[in-house]
């Protein structure tokens, strides 16, 4: 790409790994509802909203709850999760993420976070990365979950960036589909056999550089 207006990042699995905290909270909820929830099943929740995640978990457990009861259970899970992330430290930033974000800052490339998490701002503050993002678009600002491109399009709009000149960094299939639907280039973070629809695939932001970005 000769022109890059902005880079938009998913949070979990790209910048930090909060999956373990989500998993612990969802597993506790499932156990209290009378069934188990495995790490393998947790993979089904990647990139999804809290509401959709709860729906899937209830399907797994064969549990039916009213909309009001679902709201209560989702809130309980979030309380447990927020309590855990309040104790996060800067050393929980994934390898290379901080350095790559700094390099974008130096190069004058705008940055946004585009995450389904409603606690994204809290997490960035806890790990010390909040100053490296111009915009945070999280689950509080969107109504549609990935693979709908809303979160990425809102990030581009807030940065006054043309989607055609934006690059998204994602570790989930739904996120890559969302970036594609928004007309953006996408870097997959993770396994090539899972994220094949991305423009390029790397193991982590430690493998990214400005030069590699421009080669997209």
- Enzyme catalytic residues: 10, 12
Joined tokens for residue 13: 């699995």
CA 131, CA 129: separation in Å to the nearest integer? 6
What DSSP string describes 3-69?
A: ---EEEE-SBTTTB--HHHHHHHHHHHHHHTTS---HHHHGGGTT--HHHHHHHHHHHHT----HHH
- Strands across the sheet with 166-170, in order? 135-137, 110-114, 6-9, 166-170, 185-189, 200-202
CA 135, CA 148: separation in Å to the nearest integer? 19
Q: How far is CA 145 from CA 46, 105, 148, 178, 212, in A?
A: 11, 28, 6, 9, 29
44, 56 contact by CB (below 8 A): yes
């Amino acid at each position: 790409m000769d022109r890059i207006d902005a880079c938009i990042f998913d949070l979990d699995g790209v910048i930090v790994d909060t999956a373990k905290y989500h998993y612990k909270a969802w597993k506790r909820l499932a156990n209290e509802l009378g069934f188990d929830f495995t790490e393998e099943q947790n993979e089904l929740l990647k990139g999804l909203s809290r509401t959709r995640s709860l729906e899937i978990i209830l399907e797994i457990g064969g549990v039916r709850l009213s909309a009001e009861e679902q709201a209560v259970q989702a809130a309980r899970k979030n309380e447990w999760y927020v309590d855990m992330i309040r104790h996060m430290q800067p050393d929980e930033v994934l390898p290379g993420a901080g350095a790559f974000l700094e390099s974008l800052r130096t190069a004058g490339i705008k940055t946004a976070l585009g995450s389904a998490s409603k606690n994204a701002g809290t997490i960035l503050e806890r790990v010390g990365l909040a100053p490296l993002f111009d915009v945070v678009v999280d689950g509080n600002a969107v109504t549609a979950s990935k693979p709908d491109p809303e979160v990425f399009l809102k990030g581009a709009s807030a940065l006054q960036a043309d989607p055609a000149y934006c690059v998204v960094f994602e570790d989930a299939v739904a996120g890559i589909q969302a970036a594609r639907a928004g007309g953006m280039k996408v870097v997959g973070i993770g396994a090539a056999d899972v994220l094949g629809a991305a423009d390029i695939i790397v193991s982590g932001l430690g493998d990214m550089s400005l030069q590699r970005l421009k080669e997209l």
